[in-house]
Chains A and B, each alone.
Chain A
């Protein structure tokens, strides 16, 4: 580990939205986690071709999306916001496209800053194209180089925050989710994932330092949100998805061990744990991301957020305007309400935080593990582990214990057919060997996932 995190930094009273121990401040004065919760707007293209000949249209799409969204932000007196440019695969495979999109979007944002004093920051998120079947290695080669080039040149083109939804360990984890194989999941998140995050975030932080940008953080989207989406459809147990969320904490934390300072990415709901452990600000998404996927955490996700996001919405025309503009409006109103509570004083903040929390946490184990009190308790358990592997196992066991207790105390709804899964998962985790090398060998030998190639990780 680079930087070490060994203790929980908040008590329940100080663990609130809009405010973090170590806010992030941009040169233009935009501050995240400094007292106000702000919108983070995400958007994507409508159904259209993305190629050489349509590129001018693509650029025009992005330009008009951000222009209209900024206009609405000004109309609503938004005190500041972050725009996320989450590149599509085409714009990552061709870095010059991704860089051009970044530049165009940022230029519009600068314009609004100058003309209307609307402060904003741009988060740049390339696709982790190392998932490509032709990618030969996780830490070098064509795909790695392209990602790093986008970060570096994207930073020069105006990006402020560098992020990625990285995929190290996902090659075994996709199958782990489909089969609800918790051992394989721990191998993906706690071993492969952490190994990869260390290399990846070491490099991203270096680029951030070199370019004067912010190494912001990752998300376990490809792991825990994939599980969440499947659980929402009744395909896998919700308790499994809830446990995966907590396992993912250790992996996402590695970015911070390697120098990231936040804000953690919106779709990583494990961000609440990152905030508790690192004191850095986080972005979260909830009811406002219903445009992208359903989730059982619509309100609770906002309880300790510093940025409030909508995940991603296509640029389609709705009656109220283009969809990203409409979402800017929704985010703006949510944030305005929360910031008004802040102005009223700490007791209003706590009341609002607890309303957001209590309105969701009973209905789904995935919401329950995001309760601020539960987050602080589980974070302390996780930090008892001495390395990533041990911490991941402890995360799983502690999450199972907390869910079982909550179920027995009728604090969380767990359907009858899911209850036996808690014991099954616990037994599986307890059967994992203590030595990470023994475990790794065992998992490599018994591997059934066609996508996993140990040599890509130098194993």
Chain B
């Protein structure tokens, strides 16, 4: 059993979708618990790759391809997870704020969040307060992540937080902010729950919020 889970983890690291899907099926056939397939196989592989990325041993494309593979595999076992009442580690909504089209940093944060086992709803770029609120109501996420890369769109992060407070949703969600010009000081000032400097630490921080 451990061997098969290791194989799944390695398949994720290599981004080998076909092999991973086959091995996941084999694991299910061998009556390995689906929760274990998810945590000790799929997510473990992603975690190991994420750690390598942090140590500068692999490049982003490799991590992205692994994340794509992970998403496909999770999609495949979704019905079984639901049937057995296994929930993802957490749910997150992410987007770049209104007026801002920079999305590379946001996409990396999303990638690491997926890798950490979160279900992530990506609202894209140029997202208004209203759209964020709509997404909170619809998805009820544990965490909301706001990205801003321009000094003139940083205040928009505050506007989103204020709108969420006004909509009386503030205590239902942890809000994280980030992007090159954003600082811890600014995050405190606008009432965010957390700020981190990069994608890997963003996912680590997010995990702390849900565990």
Task: Establish whether residues A236 and B104, one from each chain, have CB atoms under 8 Å apart when the complex forms.
Answer: no
Task: Establish whether residues A178 and B60, one from each chain, have CB atoms under 8 Å apart when the complex forms.
Answer: yes
The listed residue (A45, A48, A49, A178) touching B61 by CB distance below 8 A is A178
Task: Establish whether residues A179 and B104, one from each chain, have CB atoms under 8 Å apart when the complex forms.
Answer: no
Q: Is B101 an interface residue (CB 8 A)?
A: yes
Known contacts A178-B60, A179-B65: does B151 contact A314 (CB below 8 Å)? yes
Contacts of A90 in B (CB 8 A): 99, 152
Q: Is B126 an interface residue (CB 8 A)?
A: yes
Task: Establish whether residues B125 and A133, one from each chain, have CB atoms under 8 Å apart when the complex forms.
Answer: yes
Contacts of A237 in B (CB 8 A): 59
Task: Establish whether residues A180 and B59, one from each chain, have CB atoms under 8 Å apart when the complex forms.
Answer: yes
Q: Which secondary structure dominates chain A's binding surface? A: loop
Which of B104, B107, B154, B181: most chain A Cβ within 10 A? Answer: B104
Q: Which of B76-104 contact A (CB under 8 A)?
A: 99-101, 103-104
* Apart from the given pairs A49-B152, A179-B64, A234-B59, 13 other A-B contacts in the complex at a CB distance below 8 Å: A44-B151, A47-B152, A47-B155, A50-B152, A88-B150, A131-B101, A133-B125, A177-B104, A235-B60, A235-B108, A237-B59, A314-B151, A417-B57
Q: Which secondary structure dominates chain B's binding surface? A: loop
Considering only CB atoms, which chain A residue lies closest to B59 in the complex?
Answer: A236
Contacts of A234 in B (CB 8 A): 56, 59
- 6 closest A-B pairs by beta carbon, nearest first, are A235-B60, A47-B151, A180-B61, A50-B152, A234-B56, A179-B61
Task: Establish whether residues B60 and A236, one from each chain, have CB atoms under 8 Å apart when the complex forms.
Answer: yes
Which of B65, B101, B155: most chain A Cβ within 10 A? Answer: B101
CB proximity of A104 to chain B, nearest CB, Å: 18
30 CB < 8 A contacts A-B: A44-B151, A45-B151, A45-B152, A46-B151, A47-B152, A47-B181, A47-B186, A48-B152, A50-B152, A88-B150, A88-B152, A89-B100, A89-B101, A89-B150, A90-B99, A131-B101, A132-B126, A133-B125, A174-B103, A174-B104, A177-B104, A178-B60, A178-B61, A178-B104, A178-B107, A179-B65, A180-B59, A234-B59, A235-B59, A235-B108
Complex CA–CA separation, A133 to B150 (angstroms): 18
Q: Is A211 an interface residue (CB 8 A)?
A: no
Contacts of A179 in B (CB 8 A): 61, 64-65
Complex CA–CA separation, A178 to B60 (angstroms): 7
Complex CA–CA separation, A291 to B103 (angstroms): 21
